[in-house]
Structure 1
Amino acid sequence: MTSGPSPAQQDDAAELYFPRRLTLVDATIGNSRVDEMGLLTLAGNRVVLGEPGMGKSELLGELGRRLGAEPVTAIRFINSKNPAKLVAAGKPVLIDGLDEAMSQREGDAVDAILAQLEEAGSPPFILSCRSREWQARSVTNLRHLYGAEPAILTLEPFNRTEARAYLAVRYSSVDADHVLDHLAAHRLEELYRNPLTLGLMGRVAEADTQLPGTRAALFERVCTLVWPEHDPDRQDMGLAQLTQDEALDAAGALAAGLLFSGAEAASAAGAAQVQQGDLRLADLEKLPGANAARAIFSSKLLHSVGPSRAKPIHRVIAEYLGARWVARQATTPRTQRRVLAQLHGSGGVPASLRGLHAWLAYHSQAMAERVIAEDPYGVLRYGEAVALTPHLADCLFEALRVLADDDPFFRSADWDIETATGLMIAALKPKIEAIIASSTSSVHLRSILIEGLEGTPLAGELADTLETIVLSPERFYGERDDAADALMPYRNRA
């Protein structure tokens, strides 16, 4: 028989624990937010839901420390010959990992838990489960046993302040603000809101001298870090048995299916319980390369949006993975023509698919030129221009010039674009100089190119042209200001 944790170990665990916020689902009271103490003071039984890596087990461990009661896994509770021995008198029994029991018992885990609770005298309980594995019928069964429905709570993600504190303690050698700013700049705040993926980013920052410097590199690194099963007790299950290509192919198929259909989420629920607007996982796993869809559904590449429902952790990740999957399926000229005909066939790329379409230029060299010609600003806005070959960069430059001729104000509704750094290559220097030096060229095209020069070696080579712009009173103030930013490293500031 093993002894429990020592007082010193308990103190260490308490110091590493981060206070959390929970939200009551379908709350009728005015304030639906509670902390750990608020959770403990709620009357009746409580069920804590959260996506993978959100910290459910850590929360139950903290509740156990406050109550002086040890949490028990759902599997252990189910298999106990005398469940009453696992219940501390006058305290709720803390049952962790109902989803893990579900995965082993093919759905009858809730009934098994209920039978054991009844055997133990129907004690009050606090139970944790992954959101997408929780089923509505579980509430009905619990109501039959206890005469009342349990309080359902969702474990809330970190905000930036919490994420910074987490990194500061767990990864003290890492510049927390640098990591968070890096994610925010790439619109990946969702990754720091999950304690597990935030920790993984901390590990990347510890291991790598530089964080990924392009959107494509960042997304690839994030995907390879996030999809595997990190729970040592689940290494013999489906997710842990996949190769990386199998996992990312399945994730890409799910992402593409959701994007093309406009569906809100993928659903593992039965046919009669699927919400309107969702796609059934059973249908998605029939797509090419999606054999592992059911396993990847439980990964951290997706996050829960309700019981048995999940969607990719961020739309930009879905667009990146969806394009990867499309490119890997469209390997012949015929299939590539058919894919692009579907995307280009309505007088332009549909707004909802511009991101996926843009990433095709990165994932498929064969389709890149046609993708760029159809929507060059989309490639610049949503895709990865830095990774283009010199030939494709020239194609993008020429396509942008055609766009500026057709629509001189093409940028009017979207000024917060990532700048065109990928076009700042030596081969394009004469063309860039010709555009920015002319006061009669497209203002919108000039603005993209001048912004793109900042921080690049090409800015030094074009310093005289930039100085002329800075000192030209006929130019717009914003244009002169951007030119000054690009010029500063190459001129005396005074």
Structure 2
Amino acid sequence: MHDREQVKIAADDALTDARLAGRPLIVLGEAGSGKSELLRHWSDGNVATASQLVNGWLPGPGRNFVDGLDEAAGLKDGDALDRVLGALGAQRSADFVLACRVADWRSASAKETIKNWTGFVPVELNIEPLGRAEIVAFLRIREGFDAATAEAFFEHYGQRNLTEWLGNPQTLVMLADLAREGIRPNTTGELFSLYVDRTWREHRKQASPLAHAAEDEVLPALGALFAALIVGGYDALTLAPGAKRLGSDLPLGECRTLPGVAGLSDGTLQGFLDSRLVIRAGQDRYTYQHRRIGEYLGARWLARHARTRELRQRLLRTLQHGDIVPSGVRGLWGWLATDAQLAEAVIGTDPLAVIDYGNADDLSPNAARGLLRAIEVAEDRNEIFGWREYRAAALVQEALKDEVERVLSVPGDKRFWTQLIILRQMRDRETVARHAVTLRAIMLDEARPYPMRDAAADALADFGDLTDWPAIIDQLANGTNRDSLRLALVMMLNANVGLTLSDAAFAETVYAYSGLTPRFTSSREVGTVAHYHRGQRQAISDNRLDGLLNAFTDYASRYRNDSDWSAAWDIDQLFYALLERRLALRDIDPEALWRWLNASDDRHNSGAREELARIDRWLEANEKVRRALQRKVLETCVEKPRSLRWRMGEVAPGLLPTLDDVVALLEWLPDADPRWQEVIWFAPRRAEGQAAREAAVRHVHTDEDREILRVHADPPPLDWERKEAKRQNVDCH
């Protein structure tokens, strides 16, 4: 989120979170991830587009929400941002939210531009993909699937390693529509082709010309209109008269000469706008159902009509700004690579557009080789890649085996992005088997950057046939740099690997990675251990809990001190999450629980407040164990009985005695044990504490003892009681 901080925040909390107050917000996400929907939700539908601002639309007072920064076509990306900021009056107010496709956001330069305008560094809010539970809920609520069908749908794509598709809401809707007909595509191109072919005829009106139209009439017409919108940087087609048009709208009449549109009657053309591939954007305004659909059909139409070499060159020049493809047309550009005549030039100019927006899963061997070379050239030019999902399965087809091995053999980080993109395509057993030796070497090479090693290890764990994972994990856990420990911890979360280390070795690895053992003391890192907060149930079985809790307790006594609480934050969260799981299994040995609860002397500074609160509630509900631990606390306070109350709360607030606990403790103490003088004060005063005073009688032998019981039975009024009595003019006794 911030320059040096990443945090998770719920969408409904972002606008009110104090950490974000007064700063410009940038919503980033993949195409179809829900950026526009989120802005509409936040603004109650009051969203402007970047194209509207660029075309003279005046923003209103208060916070402004601007969608489609990447869609302001025809301008260099920096120019578009400057013009949007100028229209917003950003030099006077930083109270705005911009949305942009993550692949087209130039983070460093764009953030600096916004800071220069506003004086504030903007906050980047990245929309996370839907998780499994959210995907299933989406399918059930939005798409009407029953629970079993939704789970089976997820499993189908999970088995094919296509779950990143499901994390994108727009792709999920398309897949769900096709699933109703029993169709489950495997590539991006197949998905869009099947979806468009089955959706174009669906219409909103009873008597629509679509009912009698042919596909080769409707799709070329819509492709022409969508291409005109995108290339021209317009938001919508309009039928409105001139006085009522927005500056960002394209009059439908201006498209009448386009191939595929020319010759259609007004009624027929307007009937085509009734297709489900088109949505209404207001009174007499129409646009594509989703920009990705518009880009796909627009690119098909452009390629179809660029049949000569001269026309192809003219098309590509038109879509470029100098040597750059502006962000507003990169989606079109990416799909143009599916045309054999355009592929070489398109891929060579902007290979990442083909990966981000086109169909890089299904290229011919020659086109795939061209894509690989173009990625290497882009990396040599220091082009910005960025952390996102790269889908380009064509790069690892069998025909490119030697080229892939050549790239992966480059040591260090000279070919970092090219190698990482290749490694992320290792999604099936055949591909991983072809490169298994190289993948293993990368995984174990401590000179390689961590993301490379992680990607190689993921491929081997998910699709490899390795039988020596215990030895591999042991080698990593005993590595000479922190990355090796990190990789060992991450890989043990994989269900195909599991927790192969012994209890003591796992605890040592966690402590060493966190910088709390002598192995790594130059700096301290947190983060990786946090993965176990979410995934520890699949990695750590119930029968490992006692041993791991004992091991963590041993290492805490060996390496923890009062100044380590921040470095041990993640460790505490994991430890108390495991302890909470162990309590749920019952049959708790109080002696073991006593050791575990005393593992940390600084539980109040840990990051496990929710887990600790639930542990306290468990203690409150389990009398037998609670009283055994209360007696343990008393045993530690023989020399300093006055520390009893502090010690009871320090070990666990859930141990604080009830009246019945006080009676039991007083009956347990030997006669005249001085600790009774502290225990009695846990009981309520006056009449409510009579049972405790009766249990304490056998300890009373001196005037001091009797005075304690008298004060307990009739304590002096507290300040608030005295003030209230004075106000009411009564004797507070």
> Does structure 1 residue 484 correspond to structure 2 residue 460?
no
> Could you tell me which of 432, 445, 455 is aligned with 1:472?
445
Distance 1:341 1:224 in 2: 30
Structure 1's 468 and 31: CA in aligned 2 closer, same or farther, altered over 3 A?
closer
| C-alpha distance in structure 2 between counterparts of 1:417 and 1:202, whole Å | 21
Cα distance in 2 for residues equivalent to 1:402 and 1:380:
15
CA distance in 1, matches of 2:154, 2:457: 27
Structure-2 residue corresponding to 1:17: none
1:360 maps to what in 2?
A: 336
Where do 1:289-300 residues align within 5 Å?
289-290=260-261, 291=264, 293-300=269-276
1:213 aligns with 2:186: yes
Gaps of 5+ in 2: 1-42, 46-133, 471-733
Partner of 1:435: 407
Residues 177 and 451 of structure 1, relative CA distance in 2, 3 Å threshold = closer
Per the alignment, residue 393 of structure 1 pairs with: 368
Contact 1:466 1:483 in 2 (8 A): yes
User: Which deviations, in whole Å up to 9, do the C-alpha atoms of 1:391-421 show, x marking residues without a partner?
Assistant: 11111111222222222x531xx32132331
* Bigger relative contact order, structure 1 or 2 (CA pairs below 8 A, ≥6 apart): 1
1:256/1:319 contact within 8 Å kept: yes
Relative to structure 1, the CA distance from residue 170 to residue 461 in structure 2 (aligned partners, 3 Å threshold; closer, same or farther) is closer
Which residue is 2:196 aligned to?
223
User: Taking structure 2 as the reference length, what is the TM-score of the superposition?
Assistant: 0.41
**Taking structure 1 as reference, are residues 246 and 171 closer, same or farther at Cα in structure 2, changes over 3 Å only?**
farther
Q: In the alignment, which residue of structure 1 is the partner of 2:248? A: 277
Q: 1:167 to 1:176 in 2, by over 3 A?
A: farther
Q: Is 1:449 the counterpart of 2:429 in the alignment? A: no
Distance 1:368 1:162, change over 3 A: closer
Name the counterpart of 2:292. 316
Q: Tell me whether 179-188 or 271-280 shows the greater mean CA deviation.
A: 179-188
Whole-angstrom CA distance in 2 between matches of 1:387 and 1:211: 16
Kept after mapping to 2: 8 A contact 1:188/1:314: no
Cα offset, 1:454, TM superposition: 3.2
Identity %: 30
Q: What code does the residue aligned with 1:471 have? A: L
Partner of 2:318: 342
AA in 2 matched with 1:216: G
Task: Name the SS of the counterpart of 2:325 in structure 1.
Answer: coil
Deviations 1:269-316 (A, max 9, x none): 223222221111222243211235422212111122222212111111
Taking a change above 3 Å as real, the CA distance of residues 188 and 219 of structure 1, as seen in their structure-2 partners, is: farther
Report the more deviating stretch, 451-460 or 257-266: 451-460
Task: State the match for 1:12 in structure 2.
Answer: none
Query: What is the CA–CA distance in structure 2 between the aligned matches of 1:191 and 1:451, rounded to whole Å?
Result: 20
**Would you say the 8 A contact 2:210–2:275 is kept in 1?**
yes
Measure the CA separation in 1 of the matches of 2:378 and 2:322: 18
Equivalent runs, 1:87-486 vs 2, <5 Å: 161=137, 163-165=139-141, 167-168=143-144, 173=149, 175=152, 177=154, 185=165, 189-190=169-170, 202=176, 204-208=178-182, 211-229=184-202, 234=206, 236-290=207-261, 291=264, 293-344=269-320, 346-362=322-338, 364-407=339-382, 410-411=384-385, 414-440=386-412, 441-455=414-428, 457-486=430-459
Contact 1:171 1:206 in 2 (8 A): no
- Determine the C-alpha separation between the residues in 1 that align with 2:216 and 2:163: 25
TM-score by length of 1: 0.60
1:426, distance to aligned residue in structure 2 (A) = 1.7
Counterpart of 1:477 in structure 2: which amino acid?
Y
CA RMSD of aligned residues (A): 3.1
Amino acid at match of 1:319: E
Is the Cα contact below 8 Å between 2:319 and 2:325 reproduced in 1? yes
Report the CA distance shift for 1:450/1:251 in structure 2 as closer, same or farther (over 3 A). same
Q: Deviations for 1:411-453, whole angstroms, at most 9, x for unmatched residues?
A: 1xx3213233111112211121121122143111111111112
CA contact (8 A) 1:450 1:483 kept: yes
**Residue identity in the other structure for 2:406:** A
Report Cα offsets for 1:443-483 as digits up to 9, x if no partner.
11111111112335222111111111111111122211110
Alignment check: 8 A CA contact 1:303 1:311 kept: yes
Q: CA 1:310 to 1:347, structure 2 compared with 1: closer, same or farther past 3 Å?
A: same
- Does structure 2 retain, via aligned residues, the 8 Å contact 1:424–1:456? no
Aligned-partner SS, 1:207:
coil
The answer to whether the 8 Å contact 1:164/1:177 transfers is no
Q: Which residue of 2 aligns with 1:65?
A: none
Per-residue deviation, residues 217-276 of structure 1 (Å, max 9, x unmatched): 111111122211356x72x53122211121111111111011011111111222322222
Taking the TM superposition and a 5 Å limit, the aligned residue runs for 1:61-80 are none
Q: Residue in 2 aligned with 1:3?
A: none
Change over 3 Å in CA distance of 1:472–1:487 after alignment to 2: same
Give the conservation status (yes or no) of the 8 Å contact 2:226–2:288.
yes
Kindly indicate whether the alpha-carbon contact (under 8 Å) linking 1:459 and 1:486 is maintained by their aligned counterparts in 2. Answer: yes
CA distance in structure 2 between the partners assigned to 1:203 and 1:350 by the alignment: 32
Query: 1:318/1:311 Cα in 2 relative to 1: closer, same or farther (>3 Å)?
Result: same
Letter of the structure 2 residue corresponding to residue 325 of structure 1: W
Q: How far, CA to CA, are the matches of 1:276 and 1:377 in structure 2?
A: 31
Shift of 1:178: 6.0
Q: Is the 8 A contact 2:351 2:374 kept in 1?
A: yes
Relative to structure 1, the CA distance from residue 267 to residue 444 in structure 2 (aligned partners, 3 Å threshold; closer, same or farther) is: same
Give the residue type in structure 2 aligned to 1:448. Answer: I
Residue 221 to residue 178, structure 1, CA distance change in 2 (3 Å): farther
Partners of 1:457 and 1:437 lie apart in 2 by 20
1:308 to 1:187, Cα distance in 2 relative to 1, 3 A: farther
Aligned length: 328
State whether residues 255 and 319 of structure 1, in contact with CA within 8 Å, keep that contact through their aligned partners in structure 2: yes
Whether the 8 Å CA contact 2:140–2:146 is kept in 1: the answer is no
Query: Post-superposition shift, 1:355?
Result: 1.1
Q: Write the letter of the residue equivalent to 1:350.
A: P
3-state SS, counterpart of residue 310 of structure 1: strand
C-alpha distance after superposition, 1:309-362 (max 9, x if no partner): 121111111111110010111112221121112123522111211110111111
The residue type equivalent to 2:193 in the other structure is E
